[in-house]
Structure 1
Amino acid sequence: MALVIGSTAQAQPEEPGAAARAALAQLQQATESLDAADGARDRVRALTATIQAFESGLAAMREGVRRATSREAQLTRHMQAREAEIAGLVGALLTVETAPPPVMLLHPDGPVGSARAAMILGDLTPVLQARADGVRADLTEIRTLRALQESSVATLEQGLSDVQQARAELSMAIANRTDLPRRFTEDPVRTAILVSSSESLAAFADGLSEMSDTPIPPDDSDVSDLKGRIDLPVQGVVLRRAGEADAAGIAREGLILATRPRAIVTTPVAATIRYRGPLLDLGNVVILEPQADTLFVLSGMGEVFGEAGQVIPAGTAVGLMGGEAPEIGAFLSLSGDGTGTDRSETLYMEVRESGRPVDPETWFRTDKDG
């Protein structure tokens, strides 16, 4: 059998630990941002940005550590499968290194045989040495990856704790906020009547003007030039597009996004909050009006922020997804690797223009080709 023990590290152009180290820097920056948020002029904006940084850093860190774990397991299996060959390689190297020079130069066929043996040995030694270097590189990489995983666990635990703290502080900061302009003041009685009498989202959207006891002033905002280029309101992936049927054969007119538990949801553009609260079977709903006759409907959140009538700037938090924040073991589990099981929450997003639903992808960038 041929002796084949190269360093498999060369098979992957990118070092698996690089992503984890880069994510570690992200989390450290997010932690610094959390510390600085206390003194920020706009604390809500600072905390929102901090939570988004934590979410990005934690996701990158999780992926980096999972890749490092997979890589370590791959290298370990490779080394175990080559134990006999490695033992033979070590034995050959030890023989070459410990044999006395006079013995190495003597050969039964005389000087010619000795010369040939020396030539063969001279050719073999670099090959053995190269393969030994490959084994050494694999062993070094295993040790490096293992140390990276061990050091990353504490960072991840702290990051998970810090993002929970930031979410709690954000809820309190939003509750205490009084600096947002208002287009109208909601009438809770009228709103309750509209909610109870509406049998569909369309009917509720049509009656939004009835939520105030005074006429709602017209909105002169215009974001139509952003069509097709607006970021999604949450870090997630498209689970189902508009018109695509689910397993039960039900097709909806909006997008369904898969998100991680407790992910922050923000308004992608400046908008007026037209409604906030539970609605029909949609769970907690926030309806945003970015311009006249256009509504962004976001539903399925565990917690919603703001008040109807407020005009909020782009990037303002409007809610948090439901679910329980994962513990460190579940966060790093490889059992669901690549299956999307870590994105257990769903946000439904519908866009309505002039009272009719339109494909949200005419407004939002979903990276169809990505």
Structure 2
Amino acid sequence: MARAEATESAQVAMEELRAAAEALEAAEGARDRVAALTETVQAYEAGLAALREGLRQAAIREAAIKGVFEAESERLAQLLGVLQSIEASPEPSLLLHPDGPKGTVRAGMILSDVTPALSREAADLRRALTEVATLRALQEAAVTTLEEGLAGAQTARTELSKAVSNRTDLPRRFVTDQVAMENLLSSADTLESFAGGLMSATIEDASVTVERPDFTAARGTLAMPVSGRVIRGYDEVDAAGVRRPGWVIATRPLTLVTTPWPATLRYLGPLLDYGQVAILEPDEGFLLVLAGLGQLFGSVGEVLPQGTPVGLMGGAEAASTQAFLMSAVQGGGAEATETLYMELRWNGSPVDPTEWFARSAK
């Protein structure tokens, strides 16, 4: 069962990466290139994550088998010696005993009892050796797919960034008052004060009307804006004793960050000690803060459909297939080196995201 799980999960992951490569080619002529490339990048992320897990399982399984071999090396050596001596001895001589017919009968009875056990052990040993060979071949075969997957993911991200920059079909509800924004950035000393003054730093375009779905109807069902795992919940204290009214989400380098709900972009750029920040307005009175990104997409005032990319996390993908394989074997979230801070605010006050998001760990 363990063998089937280890090999199957890695093989499925390799198929996912091949499908992502096909999607990248298809995105070239897609009508909505941004949407197509967004799905492609996410497909690469899912495929690489699945391959990482599959290789981790394969490495664990291989180590477990080798551990058994090492722990029982002396007994296995004796078993192999017995099997070799049985195979090397002529069959008639095995039936003879120096004590005569009575000894031969006793030896035959003992042999008839021992032989099935030896056969079972030999079969188990053969299966284990075959499994090790299969797992090793699987890991070697995954290297080529992995190299193509890492390169394809980077190409998809680059193409997505270009497609977002060239996009002209989104309505724009607001424009930035540059002087007011600069004053706000220089005077705000907290996220709360910045969010409070944000409305006065943007000017609404009265000629643009956009119908927005009821955000409150999505309460408890929102998808995570990034593939990752919540490592610090709402109002929890971190190691430095800092308490923040939002979630800290651990994720992998360069992971795509998307809008969990149709929203207007109210701010994009650096902010205090939060790094690169995107602030979205999913509905009147609500602000969703996404902080800690490495790259930002879009322009302030644009109305983004649900699932639209707003940026990429920072960091760098594994520099080589060897580095990727090492992180896969380590597992335990060792590759989730980036953190996204997410805060949801309503009428100027933060609210617990737990009540709004369908929390999941990946």
Of 208-217 and 168-177, deviating more is: 208-217
Q: Is the 8 A contact 1:222 1:291 kept in 2?
A: yes
| TM-superposed deviation, 1:282 | 1.6
Equivalent position of 1:351 in the other structure: 344
Partner of residue 302, structure 2: 310
Secondary structure class of the residue paired with 1:262: coil
Deviation per CA, 1:47-79, whole angstroms, max 9, x where unpaired? 111111111111111121122123223322322
Indicate if the aligned counterparts of 2:228 and 2:250 stay in contact, CA closer than 8 A.
Answer: yes
- Give the stretch that moved more between structures: 63-72 or 172-181: 63-72
Matched to 2:358, the amino acid is R
Report what 2:323 is aligned to: 330
The verdict on how the C-alpha distance between 1:308 and 1:335 changes in structure 2, with shifts beyond 3 A counting, is: closer
2:224 is aligned to 232
- SS of the residue aligned with 2:30? coil
Change (3 A) 1:361 1:110: same
Query: 1: distance between equivalents of 2:222 and 2:60?
Result: 36
% same residue: 49
Task: Report SS of the residue matched to 2:333.
Answer: coil
2:213 — aligned with what? 221
Aligned residues of 1:209 and 1:215 also touching (Cα < 8 A): no
State which of 346, 351, 356 in structure 2 corresponds to 1:363. Answer: 356
Q: 2: distance between equivalents of 1:165 and 1:93?
A: 55
Aligned partner of residue 348 in structure 1, secondary structure: strand
Counterpart-to-counterpart distance in 2, 1:103 and 1:171:
78
The amino acid across from 1:43 in the alignment is R
Match of 2:145 in 1: 155
Output the CA distance in 2 between the equivalents of 1:183 and 1:350: 23
SS at match of 1:269: coil
2:348 maps to a residue whose letter is: G
From 116, 119, 132, the equivalent of 2:122 is 132
Contact between 1:220 and 1:292, CA under 8 Å: does it hold in 2?
no
Superposition TM-score, scaled by structure 2 size: 0.92
Counterpart Cα distance in 2 of 1:63 and 1:21: 11
Contact map agreement 2:214 2:283 (CA 8 A) in 1: yes
1:291 is matched with 283
Q: Secondary structure at the match of 2:226?
A: coil
TM-score (norm 1): 0.90
C-alpha distance 332-101 of structure 1, shift in aligned 2 (>3 A): closer
CA distance, structure 1, for counterparts of residue 212 and residue 111 of structure 2: 85
Instruction: Say if 1:284 and 1:334 are closer, same or farther in 2 by CA, change over 3 A.
Output: closer
Deviations 1:179-206 (A, max 9, x none): 1122223333332233223232222222
Take 1:32 and 1:316, find their aligned partners in 2: how far apart are those partners? 21
Q: Secondary structure at the match of 2:176?
A: coil
| Number of corresponding residues | 359
Instruction: Tell me the residue number matched to 2:110.
Output: 120
Amino acid at match of 1:79: F
Query: Is 1:256 matched with 2:248?
Result: yes
Shift of 1:110: 4.7
Instruction: Report if aligned partners of 1:219, 1:291 keep a CA contact under 8 Å in 2.
Output: no
Which letter does structure 1 place at the counterpart of 2:228?
G
Query: 1:149, 1:334 → 2: CA distance?
Result: 14
Question: Structure 1 residues 225, 319: closer, same or farther in 2, change over 3 A?
Answer: same
Q: CA offset at residue 222 of structure 1?
A: 0.7
Provide the rounded CA distance (Å) in 2 between the counterparts of 1:68 and 1:224: 44
Distance 1:336 1:24, change over 3 A: closer
Amino acid at match of 1:245: V
Asked if 2 retains the 8 angstrom alpha-carbon contact of 1:219 and 1:292, the reply is no
- Helix, strand or coil for the counterpart of 1:243? coil
Contact 2:174 2:203 in 1 (8 A): no
**How big is the shift at 1:230?**
1.0
Root-mean-square deviation (CA, aligned residues, Å) is: 2.2
> For 1:1-370, what aligned pairs fall within 5 Å after superposition?
12=2, 14-108=4-98, 110-214=100-204, 220-327=212-319, 328-333=321-326, 337-367=330-360
Please say if residues 336 and 342 of structure 1, whose CA atoms lie closer than 8 Å, have aligned partners that are also in contact.
no
- Change beyond 3 A, Cα 1:367–1:311: same
